[in-house]
Amino acid sequence: MMQNSADSLIVLDFETTGLSPDMGDRAIEIGAVRLEKGEVVDRFQALMNPGKRVSGFIENYTGITNQMLSKAAPCDEVMEEFANFMGDSNLVAHNASFDKRFLDAELRRIAKTYDGSFACSLLVARRLYQRAPNHKLGSLISYKNIPSLGGFHRALFDSEMTAKLWMAMLEDIAQQTAQVDVPFAFIQKLSKTPKKAVSRLWSR
C-alpha cells in the first residue's frame, strides 16, 4: 500500500559506469533504505555486473573494481530483486533525476515498472537551506551536523545519509508549517516552488 506521508518511503542511490543510460551507461551498485514513520526498517544493497568493464575513474571514484563486479550478479537479476523490494513505495534520491534515469532504464530492460512517485532531496535542500555553501550530499550532512562514519560514493552509505538528511528536512518543514505529518505531495510542491516564493508556502 502506497504511503502518502513523506516519512514512509524508500531512499535509493545508484553507482554507475557513467552519467547517461542513453549513452549506454549501466548501474553497477544499488543501495536503498526503507523508512517507516522516519525509522529505517529495511535495507537493500547489491553490486551488479553491467557486462562491461568500468573505467579507472569510476573504480577510483566509487572504490568498486572490475574484479568485484566480475563476481556480482547481472543487472537484470539484481533489478528483479529490487523491483520486489520497492513495491509501490514512493521514492527519494539526492539529485533524483540522475537516479530516476538509471532506475527507469534498468527496469525497462526487464519489462518492469513502478507505481511510486519520486522526490528529490537536492531540490528540497536548495529551497530549505538557501544559505548552505552548496547542496552536495556531503556538504549538507556537515551543514546539518549529521554524524557520518563511512565513505560517500557507495550506494548504501549514500542512501542512508540521504535518509538522515531527509528526516532532518522533514523536521524543519514540520516546524515551519506546524504540520505533524508532512504529506509527500507537499514535499513535491516545495521542490518545484521558486526559492523566493518558499516563505509563502509556510504561511498557508
The string of DSSP codes covering 60-89 is HHH---HHHHHTSPBHHHHHHHHHHHHTT-
- Give all strands (DSSP E) within the chain, no chain letters: 9-16, 27-36, 39-47, 91-93, 118-120
For residue 69, how many other CB atoms are within 10 A of its CB?
20
pTM of the predicted protein model: 0.96
The pair phi, psi for residue 166, each rounded to 5°, is -55, -45
Residue type, 115: D
- Give all strands (DSSP E) within 88-156, no chain letters: 91-93, 118-120
Rounded CA Rg of the chain: 17
Measured CA to CA, the distance from residue 17 to residue 48 in angstroms comes to: 11
Measured CA to CA, the distance from residue 157 to residue 56 in angstroms comes to: 21
pLDDT at residue 204 in the model: 64
Measured CA to CA, the distance from residue 90 to residue 153 in angstroms comes to: 23
Grid cell of 164 as nine digits: 538522515
Q: Residue-wise pLDDT tens for the chain (204 aa)?
A: 456 899 999 999 999 999 999 999 999 999 999 999 999 999 999 999 999 999 999 999 999 999 999 999 999 999 999 999 999 999 999 999 999 999 999 999 999 999 999 999 999 999 999 999 999 999 999 999 999 987 778 999 999 999 999 999 999 999 999 888 999 999 999 999 999 999 999 876
Residues 6+ apart with CB under 8 A from 108: none
pLDDT at residue 1 in the model: 43
Measured CA to CA, the distance from residue 193 to residue 204 in angstroms comes to: 14
The pair phi, psi for residue 146, each rounded to 5°, is -90, 125
pLDDT at residue 152 in the model: 78
Residues 6+ apart with CB under 8 A from 63: 151, 153, 154
